[in-house]
Structure 1
Amino acid sequence: MFNFIFTADKASKKPLYEQLYSYVADEIKNKNIKENERMPSKKALAKYLGISVNTVETAYSILVQEGYLRAVARSGFYVCKVDIPVGDRNFEYEEEQESVTAYKADFKTNKVDINSFPYSTWIKLSKEVMYSTPEYLNSGNVKGDYELRESIAKYLHEFRGVKCSPMQIVVGAGIEYLTMLLTELFDRDKVFAVENPGYKKISAILRNNNRKINYIDVDENGLCTDCLKQTDSDIVYVTPSHQFPTGAVMHVWRRMELLSWAEEGEDRYIIEDDYNSEFNFSIKPVPAMQGLANSDRVVYLSTFSRVLAPSIRIAYMVLPKKLLEKFDKHFGTYSSTVPRFEQHTLNKFISGGYYSRHLSRVKNIYKKRRDKIIQSLGNADISGERVGLHIVVKTDKAKEIIEYALKCDVKLYDMDDYYMTENKKSNSIIIGYAGAEDDDIELLKNIFDKFI
């Protein structure tokens, strides 16, 4: 027994008793010290290793507590049976790399102008909230703190015509998270319908939840209601204010058709994703469908990420009464996924009038940027420019332009990649412009000059 070799590492910050414990535990796990073998006494081992009896006693005590040794009265310490499962411990993990954009210009649709973020105001309000209300370190309401929901309800009524009380609003960390919760509120046999082309993350969430999905074609007026009626769909997910990615705006008459479809079936619902509705540059925006409905069949979804910044993960949904009752039953014991300090900073930002002023300022910035983009594209066939923060360019040379742009370290996006079913040939390029600088626009102009 005294043949095992233990050498203390004097440079280690780990205490000597812990080093001895680790050594003996490893020897037992590796079967170098056999089951039922009697360990040397505390005094004998201390003398052999030249360390104190207290050090050995502490190490033995931990080994007994963890089940490596058993203490037998008036007999000593014996090794317990310790079977370590054989597994692949040699699996090599690839080092996780943070994604870094390698392009000179990337015309993503989810970018914002980071230079226009109201840093000083946001920091000031954050400090006010943090120093004045330390109780926000405690957990809050799963739906979000009432003060923020009250501000959201007031804003939605004034700017989007949404009819709701703060009690109907649920605040969460992003549209995707809220959609996951929302999906759980519908019976498992309910069939979902999504736009085609459309926002692929929503389809992924539904697939991950093992839901049946019907893909409904989109035309110049948004989701085709006639196509929807030919399916067995119960719930439809739409982006009527600015269809993603085509940019189509759903006319009022089609919104009414969609609302009628919901009324005609039992437990049918419309999920209205109203992203980008704040950015309407040419006409008075069409009110949200939720406000047009006289019934309780529309779930309203939106986010602050588009106006403020993508990393500020604060979104919200307005639930009809029946789904609200289900939410309280299913998720009443959950915790909010948005920190309360951030909630109350945003609340002060909205209620203090900062949000509306910031929105007005960035709308002017984005309008000028959109105009520069359109001007740089010359005679290109452009659509989707009235609302939102991206445009669509239709051209038979779409794939050639996208391929050439990549060679120039410029990333453009193919409409075909957003179709859910069989390969489509849209001949369309999607260009997000919110984060585009003047140099980016010049690069874009040079690319299109070669083709159009």
Structure 2
Amino acid sequence: MPKQPLYLNLYETLKQQIIEGQYHADDKFPSKRALGAHLSVSNTTIEHAYQILLDEGFIYAKPRSGYYVSDIESLPVIYKNDTPQPPHVDNQEKNEETIHHKYAFNMAEIDAEYFPMQQFRRHARDIFEDDQRALLQHRDSQGLKELRQEIAHYLFNSRGVTSHPNQIIIGSSTEQLINLLTDILDDQSFIIEQPSYPPIKQVLDKKQIPYLQVPVTPTGIDIDAFKQSKHHVAYVTPSHQFPTGYVMNLKKRTQLIHWAQKDDNRYIIEDDYDSEFRFSGKPIPALQSLDTKDKVIYISTFSKSLYPSCRIAYVVLPNPLLTRYQQLPYKEGNTVPMHLQQLVANFMHSGSFERHLNKMRTVYSDKLKFILERLKPYANQLQIEGALTGMHFTLTITNGSTLEECLKQASDHQVKVVPMNQYNPKETQPKFIIGFGGIPKAALQSHTDALINAFVK
């Protein structure tokens, strides 16, 4: 295993000291020069470590003063080994395009032009050419072991999620896995975000499971509303809230974990649906990486990182819930074809998946920068939020136009955008969700110009 850079070791040490409470809120951090001299390391090493702490919200900067510790609640710490230990025992479906939508800002699309079809084809050919008769048989209901191993390895390295392959269950969609979780959690009541990812509400409505909808603010779900609630399971999208694009700050993350730790029946479901694509600073670690008492259920999908029709999602169960899963009287057989699971496992094992993600981060980052730069001159009429990560952001029209007027203008200019009130009926502002992942680079300018022509006075 390659040696970790010095600045990452320093970042991990300082982060751990903050979480343990060795530093208190608003304590002044050592200056870069002083710490560098004390540790005999370069200023560049200190700068890199401090920048990551700054990106993740552990510290904040005061102009001409230095760095200070953020106001977070200390977490009990259990040191995690480098190797995951064994347990004790998509988002939106694509809407059909119509002839009137020449310029579509869809959320559930990727840029297929850059998909590594040649490498994928080679792995597919190998699966069918090799002696893979075992894939024709019924296999483990949790999914192919090789794929679960690759997912565990990937999550640990990219998201800080510690898991054993035995804790991972493969499914064909987030909705299917949510349905499974309601069986495992058995009669628990839920707290969900408002607005929220539609399938969670659909599953709960269908199964008549009670839930409370809690408003989302720019810093994440309103934790104060939890104090008066007797509901036990919180479903959140902290890294890029769907659909607002807000990112939950570190203070709320720790408060949410503390809320879950106060009752044995409380759990958090963390939907990390497009966390691979963060365009400013180091990716923020998953909520599960801060959890020390098995209270976070981690769920994600390959619909953005590979392609929407891949139909592979996965959930990481905490150890106590893994036991409950194993004791379920009826467990649905795995719904993802074994050959597809083996194909994705081989693609990940070869390093092709990581290379593909690195390329697509650049592609989507370039697209986002282009759109934001084109919209910048109209900042007095167009308010942008949620553009730090993911493949969509929100656009609020602030020039006095009503929602109805904006929708008519969009239709007149053959622009397809999704209004926020489709997910939150209480939203009265002309606010829209702008997906950009599937727009070809060559068409970015025409799409953005059409957006400007539709909404700018």
User: 1:398 touches 1:429 (CA, 8 Å); kept in 2?
Assistant: no
User: 1:402 touches 1:413 (CA, 8 Å); kept in 2?
Assistant: no
User: 2:240 touches 2:390 (CA, 8 Å); kept in 1?
Assistant: yes
**In 2: Cα distance, 1:367 partner to 1:398 partner:** 31
Q: Deviations over 1:290-333 (max 9, x none)?
A: 11111111100011111111100011000011211121222765
Match of 1:127 in 2: 125
**In 1: Cα distance, 2:138 partner to 2:109 partner:** 31
Taking every aligned residue pair, what percent have the same amino acid on both sides? Answer: 34
CA separation of 1:403 and 1:230: change in aligned 2, threshold 3 A: farther
**In 1: Cα distance, 2:258 partner to 2:247 partner:** 19
Match of 1:444 in 2: 448
Match of 2:436 in 1: 433
**In 2: Cα distance, 1:224 partner to 1:158 partner:** 30
**In 2: Cα distance, 1:100 partner to 1:414 partner:** 16
Match of 2:24 in 1: none
Alignment partner of 1:411 is 2:416 = yes
CA separation of 1:283 and 1:299: change in aligned 2, threshold 3 A: same
**In 2: Cα distance, 1:332 partner to 1:191 partner:** 22
Deviation at 1:198, TM superposition (A): 1.3
Match of 2:23 in 1: none
Q: Which runs of no fewer than 5 residues in structure 2 stay unpaired?
A: 1-94
Deviation at 1:356, TM superposition (A): 0.5
Match of 2:319 in 1: 321
Q: Deviations over 1:205-236 (max 9, x none)?
A: 11111100100000011111111222222101
Select which of 358, 362, 365 maps to 1:360.
Answer: 358
* 1:195-214 superposed matches below 5 A: 195-214=193-212
Select which of 282, 289, 294 maps to 2:292.
Answer: 294
**In 2: Cα distance, 1:327 partner to 1:228 partner:** 27
Match of 2:172 in 1: 173
Q: Deviations over 1:158-206 (max 9, x none)?
A: 1100011011000110111111111111222x21111001111210111
**Code of the aligned partner of 2:117:** Y
User: 1:199 touches 1:245 (CA, 8 Å); kept in 2?
Assistant: yes
**Code of the aligned partner of 1:204:** Q
Look at both structures and tell me which one has the larger radius of gyration over its CA atoms. 1
Q: Which runs of no fewer than 5 residues in structure 1 stay unpaired?
A: 1-97
CA separation of 1:172 and 1:435: change in aligned 2, threshold 3 A: same
Deviation at 1:409, TM superposition (A): 2.3
SS class of match (2:361): helix
**In 1: Cα distance, 2:410 partner to 2:274 partner:** 27
Alignment partner of 1:392 is 2:391 = no
**In 1: Cα distance, 2:313 partner to 2:330 partner:** 18
SS class of match (1:330): coil
TM-score, with length taken from structure 2: 0.74
Match of 1:187 in 2: 186
CA separation of 1:138 and 1:398: change in aligned 2, threshold 3 A: farther
CA RMSD of aligned residues (A): 1.7
**In 1: Cα distance, 2:98 partner to 2:342 partner:** 33
* 1:215-234 superposed matches below 5 A: 215-234=213-232
- Matched pairs, number: 352
Match of 2:348 in 1: 350
**In 2: Cα distance, 1:222 partner to 1:451 partner:** 28
Deviation at 1:441, TM superposition (A): 4.0
Runs of 4+ in structure 1 deviating by more than 4 angstroms, as ranges, are none
**In 2: Cα distance, 1:145 partner to 1:320 partner:** 19
User: 2:418 touches 2:434 (CA, 8 Å); kept in 1?
Assistant: yes
Deviation at 1:289, TM superposition (A): 1.1
CA separation of 1:383 and 1:227: change in aligned 2, threshold 3 A: same
Select which of 230, 236, 239 maps to 2:237.
Answer: 239
SS class of match (2:327): helix
Match of 1:48 in 2: none
Deviation at 1:342, TM superposition (A): 0.6
**In 1: Cα distance, 2:271 partner to 2:355 partner:** 24
SS class of match (1:317): strand
Deviation at 1:440, TM superposition (A): 5.2
Match of 1:164 in 2: 163
CA separation of 1:130 and 1:407: change in aligned 2, threshold 3 A: same
CA separation of 1:107 and 1:99: change in aligned 2, threshold 3 A: closer
Match of 1:152 in 2: 151
